[in-house]
Amino acid sequence: MNILGINAYHGNASAAIVCDGQLIAAVEEERFNRVKYAAGFPAQAIRYCLKEAGLTLKDVDHVAVPRNPYARLATKLFYAVRMPSFARERAKVMVKFTGIREALGQTFDADAEKIEAKFHRIEHHQAHLASAFYVSPFERAALLSADGLGDFASTMWGSGEGSRMQIDGAIAFPHSLGLYYSAVTQYLGFLKFGDEYKVMGLAAYGQPEQLDAFRDIVRSNGRGFRLGLDYFTHHRTGPEMSWAEADKTPVLGRMFSEEMPRRLGPTRAPEEPLEQRHRNLAASLQARLEEVYLGMLKKLAERTRLKAVCLAGGVAFNCVANGKIFDATGFEQVYVHPAAGDGGLSIGAAFYVWHQVLGKPRSFAMNHAYWGPGFSRDEVNRAVEASSLPGKGYSVEELAEGELLRRTAGIIADGKILGWFQGRAEWGPRALGNRSIVADPRRAEMKEILNRRVKHREIFRPFAPSILEEATGAWFEKSHPSPFMTMAYAVRPEKRERIPAPTHVDGTGRLQTVAREANSRYWRLIKAFEELTDVPVVLNTSFNDNEPIVCRPEEALDCFLRTQMDALVLDDFLITRS
Ligand SMILES: [Fe+2]
């Protein structure tokens, strides 16, 4: 039985294929069309997923789409009357959404009417919850999804057992932790879609001096929270989103009202310098998010009396808050879907159909994130040859693994910047050792070098450590696995000066714990680095330069040559300056 999940006409358009309950492939459209957070119809992602699974469109039994126009219909109609322009915008998206069958037909040059697969509409947050629970290793778990907005809700919680999920509550538009974070992110002068994680990084440089004001912006109540709507505009105008086109990154209109600068001080324009006041505001924003998010999780743990929790939705990318769950709530185990944002909805919708609709038992756990395109030795070789590297002053060697890792670990330990491209691409926004740039964590200057030569990003943003899973407790104050880089833990004080480059200003690191069985070659690379340096950690940042993470070897070579990396490993090929 083959189930195709499609997240279309929504940020992070993506596709996933689940065959007899096993995930075979999943990828976001941005990796193909090279537009960050691309919306629209993920035609290339769907083609890739079917090809990887060896299927044609005729073999697909079910198509799962994470949007249900009938969910919260009364609320939708209520706001449609009050916000006609928003209603018109949503209606346009809805027309596209109902055309998924036609778009699928066009993608494969097939008659849409003859597609035999059964179509399912899964409510946005139920798909988020399914994306976390049904691929988690837990038989029973509490569930929480929190994001900006989806099917007119921002938050949903419940519990899962075996192949069933039970929904216990939800918070509807206009109250939203995701929109709260987005609105204050805009107010602080970060206007691009997806900039929230920059402000989370900035928060570590400030003090939550304005926490009281933020307690008025997000107010606690018995169910969790509600927004102080005076500070926002989205409940009057609707969040102005345009994300129906595949070739564009989604754009969000302004979401905060004049009340926000009245209470917090002047709005920062993007070109204005960052002052301590802005850092303190970011810290206050983050502190209030943590109070509310961790408070909801604490109540969820008490109500369900479960020890494990599964998280998804864009708010679940807040690794700083996630890292505090163990101390702040009764939960002892946490699973965050690697594509916790809307990209993950395609997997969630597909597994929802397999378990919740079809009642099939659980037989799959996602313990690694390598579900995207991989390339054969010949494809990699062709890309290398086409780049005429020797003529550009580079030498190319094809090496056996032992020699490759020994040489590569030496390159990193020498303070060089290494492009590291292996196997199948990661699912979700984090590079986890298959499309990564790797560097020496012991050198404090590495952050500045990486920014100047390759990444060109804000200096206040931290870089992440990848650590051998078994060494986690010796280097960090928590040892719970974080295979998808979704948790930030404090680095042990005595270790901070040994890995200054990926240690953030507040002493934490957004770590990836690398298990040998999840990615044996990356694990062995870090092990080889440890043998040279006594440090079981490398600095890991995504293989890109202000673009989606590279997918194909050609893009890796292009990024390598365009920036000033020192060496590149493409599967078994080692490329160095000669
Ligand atoms: Fe969402």
Interval 472-490: pLDDT, tens: 999 999 999 999 999 999 9
116-137 pLDDT, tens per residue? 999 999 999 999 999 999 999 9
The 8-class DSSP code of residue 124 comes to H
Please tell me the distance between residue 153's alpha carbon and the centre of ligand 1 in angstroms: 9
Beta bridge partners of 489: 509
| CA dist., res. 212 & res. 306, Å (int) | 32
Give the mean pLDDT of 299-312.
Answer: 98
Please tell me the distance between residue 181's alpha carbon and the centre of ligand 1 in angstroms: 14
pLDDT range class, residue 192, cuts 50, 70, 90 = confident
Please tell me the distance between residue 313's alpha carbon and the centre of ligand 1 in angstroms: 5
Q: Which residues of 501-511 are buried (b: 16+ CB within 10 A; e: fewer)?
A: bbbbebebbbb
Please tell me the distance between residue 314's alpha carbon and the centre of ligand 1 in angstroms: 6
Please tell me the distance between residue 8's alpha carbon and the centre of ligand 1 in angstroms: 12
**At 64, which amino acid appears?**
A
Give the mean pLDDT of 277-304.
Answer: 98
Helix and strand totals (H; E) in the chain:
21, 23
Query: Maximum distance among all alpha carbons in the chain?
Result: 68
User: Positive or negative, the Cα torsion across 291, 292, 293, 295?
Assistant: positive
Please tell me the distance between residue 18's alpha carbon and the centre of ligand 1 in angstroms: 21
Please tell me the distance between residue 128's alpha carbon and the centre of ligand 1 in angstroms: 7
| CA dist., res. 244 & res. 15, Å (int) | 16
Please tell me the distance between residue 34's alpha carbon and the centre of ligand 1 in angstroms: 21
DSSP secondary structure, 333-397, as one string: EEEE-TTTTGGGHHHHHHHIIIIIIT-PPP---------S----HHHHHHHHHHTTTGGGTEEEE
pLDDT at 222: 85
- Is-cis flag, bond preceding 481, omega within 30? no
17-36 pLDDT, tens per residue? 999 999 999 999 999 999 88
**At 329, which amino acid appears?**
T
Q: Are 450 and 557 in contact (CB under 8 A)?
A: no
pLDDT at 578: 83
A 10 A CB-CB count for 271 gives 6
397-425 pLDDT, tens per residue? 999 999 999 999 999 999 999 999 999 99
Binning the chain into helix, strand and coil, the percentages to the nearest 5 are: 40, 20, 40
Give the mean pLDDT of 546-572.
Answer: 95
Rg (CA), the chain: 23
pLDDT at 38: 86
pTM: 0.95
The 8-class DSSP code of residue 535 comes to -
Please tell me the distance between residue 521's alpha carbon and the centre of ligand 1 in angstroms: 33
The tally of CA atoms less than 13 A away on the side-chain side of residue 426 is 26
- Higher-confidence position of 246 and 325: 325
Please tell me the distance between residue 184's alpha carbon and the centre of ligand 1 in angstroms: 19
Please tell me the distance between residue 449's alpha carbon and the centre of ligand 1 in angstroms: 35
Please tell me the distance between residue 23's alpha carbon and the centre of ligand 1 in angstroms: 21
Beta bridge partners of 169: 157
pLDDT range class, residue 218, cuts 50, 70, 90 = very high
Residue 462 DSSP SS3: coil
Please tell me the distance between residue 140's alpha carbon and the centre of ligand 1 in angstroms: 23
A 10 A CB-CB count for 330 gives 18
**At 405, which amino acid appears?**
L
Tokens of 43: 């035609």
Please tell me the distance between residue 178's alpha carbon and the centre of ligand 1 in angstroms: 9
Mean pLDDT (the chain, rounded): 93
Please tell me the distance between residue 53's alpha carbon and the centre of ligand 1 in angstroms: 26
Q: How far is CA 182 from CA 85, 203, 251, 280, 541, in A?
A: 21, 14, 12, 17, 24
The 8-class DSSP code of residue 453 comes to I
Please tell me the distance between residue 150's alpha carbon and the centre of ligand 1 in angstroms: 5
| CA dist., res. 148 & res. 182, Å (int) | 8
Please tell me the distance between residue 10's alpha carbon and the centre of ligand 1 in angstroms: 9
Q: Which residues, including other chains, have CB under 8 Å from residue 570's CB and lie 6 or more apart?
A: 380, 383, 384, 421, 553, 556, 557
Please tell me the distance between residue 310's alpha carbon and the centre of ligand 1 in angstroms: 15
Please tell me the distance between residue 454's alpha carbon and the centre of ligand 1 in angstroms: 31
Give the mean pLDDT of 259-279.
Answer: 96
DSSP secondary structure, 60-113, as one string: --EEEES--TTTTHHHHHHHHHH-HHHHHHHHHHHHHHHTHHHHHHHHTT--GG
| CA dist., res. 274 & res. 205, Å (int) | 11
- Higher-confidence position of 39 and 334: 334
A 10 A CB-CB count for 461 gives 16
Please tell me the distance between residue 69's alpha carbon and the centre of ligand 1 in angstroms: 15
Residue (of 406, 472, 185) closest to 314 by Cα position:
185
- Cα dihedral angle (482, 485, 489, 492), rounded to 10 degrees? 90
Please tell me the distance between residue 241's alpha carbon and the centre of ligand 1 in angstroms: 14
Residue 137 DSSP SS3: coil
Please tell me the distance between residue 149's alpha carbon and the centre of ligand 1 in angstroms: 6
Can you state the angle between helices 177-187 and 196-203, rounded to 10 degrees? 80
Does 82 have pLDDT greater than 90?
no
Please tell me the distance between residue 434's alpha carbon and the centre of ligand 1 in angstroms: 26
